Amino acid sequence: MPTDPIPKIRIRGLRKRFGDKQVLDGVDLDVMPGTSMVVIGGSGTGKSVLLKSILGLVEPDEGTIEIDGRNILTMSRHERETLNRQIGMLFQAGALFDSIPVWENVAFGLLAQQKMSRDDARKRAGEVLSQVGLAASVGDLSPAELSGGMQKRVGLARAIAAQPSILFFDEPTTGLDPIMGAVIDGLIVDCVKRLGSTAVAITHDMASAVRIGDRAAMLHRGKIVWTGPAADLLQSGNEVVDQFTHGRRDGPIQMELRK
Amino acid sequence: MIVLDWLAAIGRAAFAICRTTGAVALFGAEGVSHIVRPPYYGRMFLRAFLEFAYFSLPVVALTAVFSGMVIALQSYTGFSRFNAEGAVASIVVLSVVRELGPVLAGLMVAGRVGAAMAAELGTMRVTDQIDALGTLSTNPMKYLVAPRLLAGTLALPLLVVVADILGVAGGYLVATVKLGLSPSAYLNNTFNFVTTNDVVSGLAKAAVFGFLIALMGCFHGYNSKGGAQGVGAATTSAVVMASIMILAGDYVLTELFFAH
Ligand SMILES: Nc1ncnc2c1ncn2[C@@H]1O[C@H](COP(=O)(O)OP(=O)(O)O)[C@@H](O)[C@H]1O
Ligand SMILES: [Mg+2]
């Protein structure tokens, strides 16, 4: 486990409300450098909002988010943009740009940072595509021509193309068949290892959680109610986690849904 | 009590209008500020410009020709009673160049390009593509909004030049072929009557309308929420708001140019 005592990502007392719905209600979470954290929780509990807060796409009402010990919520816009270059994100539904070909999607961040010419970017996109198990010729297709599994792979390729030190995955296996899910999980683990990145993955797929995560955290009613090794998810001893991981209809989470 | 309810409702509506106006103004100001600051997205500008100018050309051209024809026909009915058929040419050119060219082109483009723009940005919003841009070192206001605002502002005057020419041509056709007016007299009356001021004011209107169409398309698309239905609502709002602003703006600009 980590030799570095400072967490890569450190979240304290994070609150966010939409209208009269308190989505995040004091989230505390630490992710150590070079480790993978999976966040589990029911649909609509604010898992995506949590990731988007770290990315600066959602403005939290209260709390702090530190990356490498610096509070990102008080950073200038410029510092924030520089920081965001270190972060890659695979969106829940892929969020591929459908007006440009696949290769340009993959190389988008590289082109935007003006790090390379279009020709070089195209070559680099081919390399990254092969890292996620796609032929370089896929680069010439339009995102709409791809299957769901291929779109996920392209989304993953786009997220890792700039070799970020932090990677976020929002429900990477949702909507895929179990085998494709396992394939994507394998690719994620490979990519994270190869880059030595710190990763946060959101999922409600237990098999996926155990495959991707070193550690796991359960988000429930706007708070992290449990953290522990991902391997312990199925025997956490926590009522909420137990109900969720075993998919039981009775338990503390049902009370919430009935309200 | 009912009166109080009404007052409250009116107050709420007024408040909502002010808030939206403020939001649109801020959005527009931010978009414009990105037009002048690098990096510039030439490809995006070119795409938006083509969308505006080239692909709207057929519909704008058709509208212009037929409006010129109709005005020639209508004004002839009136002027022939006073043996003033010569005025047909000047009425056609003035109404086309000053009013109908910019307004009709604006309305057509609002329905065509403004709607498509709102739908495209709206879809990008609800599928997280706009959020994704932000994670890829790209400011979405700069990448998506600024090029469209610039393209709208530059493309509409170009379209209106074409509309002006075709509108006058439509009038000429009806006047000479159907109404039997003398071609040379018609052309003389056209070019003697129209001034640079008329043309320039029409083109200035067009630039403003082009900006407004792009602004409404981008604003409603960019801020759309809630899936396919939200995108549909954004599209409708973009077209309706742009059309209202074109018609109201036309009056304001006409006052500005010609009142003194
Ligand atoms: N931009 C937004 N505006 C209003 N409500 C939002 C917004 N984003 C998320 N929400 C609400 O926050 C809650 C959590 O959403 P989300 O984080 O997407 O859930 P999930 O855990 O399934 O990823 C939902 O109830 C959603 O309606
Ligand atoms: Mg989600």
Provide mean pLDDT across the span B16-27.
93
Give me the residues of chain A with pLDDT under 50, please: 2, 258-259
Interface probe with B: pick from A47, A108, A128, most Cβ of B within 10 Å: A108
Interface of B with A in 219-258 (CB under 8 A): none
Residue A24 CA to ligand 2 center (angstroms) comes to 13
Out of A48, A52, A200, give the residue to mutate to test ligand 1, the one with the largest number of ligand atoms within 8 Å of its CB.
A48
Residue B33 touches chain A, beta carbons under 8 Å: no
3-class DSSP state of B95:
helix
pLDDT of residue A3: 55
Q: What is the CA radius of gyration of chain B?
A: 21
Q: How many CB atoms lie within 10 A of CB A83?
A: 17
**B96-125 pLDDT per residue, tens:** 999 999 999 999 999 999 999 999 999 999
A166 contacts chain B (CB < 8 A): no
A46 Cα: distance to centroid of ligand 2 (angstroms): 7
pLDDT for A250: 82
**Ligand 1 atom 24 nearest Cα:** A44
Q: Does B2 have pLDDT greater than 90?
A: no
Mean pLDDT of B9-25: 92
| Spatial separation of the C-alpha atoms in residues B75 and B95, rounded to whole Å | 11
Torsion over CA: A128, A129, A133, A136 (sign): negative
Q: Is A16 left (phi over 0), alpha (psi -120 to 50) or beta?
A: beta
**Does residue B60 contact residue B159 with C-beta atoms inside 8 Å?**
yes
Q: Residue type at A229?
A: P
Which of these, B147, B146, B49, B161, lies nearest to B105 by C-alpha position?
B161
**Residue B20: C-alpha distances to residues A28, B223, B229 (Å):** 36, 11, 20
Residue B59, C-beta contacts closer than 8 angstroms, at least 6 positions apart: B108, B112
Contacts of A84 in chain B (CB under 8 A): 134-135, 137
A17: helix, strand or coil: strand
Provide the pLDDT for residue A37: 96
Direct distance between the N- and C-terminal alpha carbons of chain B, in angstroms, rounded to an integer: 48
Question: What is the distance in angstroms between the CA of the first residue and the CA of the last residue of chain A?
Answer: 41
Distance A200 CA to ligand 2 centre (A): 13
Contacts for A47 with CB less than 8 Å, ≥ 6 apart: A39, A41, A170, A171, A202, A219
Q: Which residues of B touch A55 (CB under 8 A)?
A: 131, 134-135
Question: Is the preceding peptide bond at B39 cis, omega within 30 degrees of 0?
Answer: yes
Is A79 part of the contact surface with chain B (CB cutoff 8 Å)?
Answer: no
pLDDT of residue A259: 46
Tell whether A84 lies on the interface with B, counting CB pairs under 8 A. yes
Q: Please, are residues B96 and B163 in contact by the beta-carbon 8 Å criterion?
A: yes
| Of A161, A145, A148, A153, residue with least CA distance to A109 | A161
Q: Which of A96, A154, A156 to mutate to test the interface with B (most CBs of B within 10 A)?
A: A96
Q: How far is the CA of A42 from the centre of ligand 2 (A)?
A: 9
Query: Residue for token digits 């299957």?
Result: A147
Q: Is B128 on the interface with A (CB under 8 A)?
A: yes
> B83: pLDDT confidence band, cut at 50, 70 and 90?
confident
Size of interface A-B (CB pairs under 8 A): 46
Q: Is residue B1 scored above 90 in pLDDT?
A: no
Q: Which ligand is nearest to the CA of A175?
A: 2
Atom of ligand 1 nearest to the CA of A43: 22
pLDDT(B67) > 80: yes
Q: Distance (Å, rounded) from C-alpha A198 to C-alpha A86?
A: 10
Of A17, A21, A22, A23, the one to substitute when testing ligand 1's pocket (max ligand atoms within 8 A of C-beta) is: A23
Task: Give dist(CA A238, CA A247) in Å, integer.
Answer: 14
Look up tokens 């990763």; give the residue. A199
Amino acid at A252: P
- pLDDT, residue B51, reads 94
Q: Report the C-alpha dihedral over residues A233, A235, A241, A246, rounded to 10 degrees.
A: 90
- Is residue A203 within 8 A of residue A173, CB to CB? The reply is yes
Q: What is the dihedral of CA B142, A107, A72, A15, to 10 degrees?
A: 90
Q: CA angle A216-A221-A223, nearest 5°?
A: 50
Mean pLDDT of B209-232: 95
Query: For residue B116, how far is the Cα from the chain centroid?
Result: 14
Nearest CA to ligand 1 atom 8: A49
- Does residue A109 belong to the interface with chain B, where contact is any CB pair within 8 Å? yes
pLDDT the model gives residue A75: 92
Q: Both tokens of residue B28? A: 């527009």
> A231 CB near a chain B CB, below 8 Å?
no
Query: Minimal Cα distance from B39: which residue of A?
Result: A112
A79-116: pLDDT as tens digits: 988 898 899 999 988 899 999 999 999 999 999 887 78
The CA-atom distances, in angstroms, between B175 and each of B77, B78, B82, B87, B195 are 11, 14, 17, 11, 21
Contact A112/B137, CB-based, under 8 Å? yes
Asked if residues B94 and B195 have their Cβ atoms less than 8 Å apart, the reply is no
Sheet (strand A166-170) strand order: A87-90, A166-170, A198-203, A36-40, A215-220, A223-229
Q: How far apart are CA B260 and CA B255, in angstroms?
A: 8
Q: Is the CB of A46 under 6 A from ligand 1?
A: yes
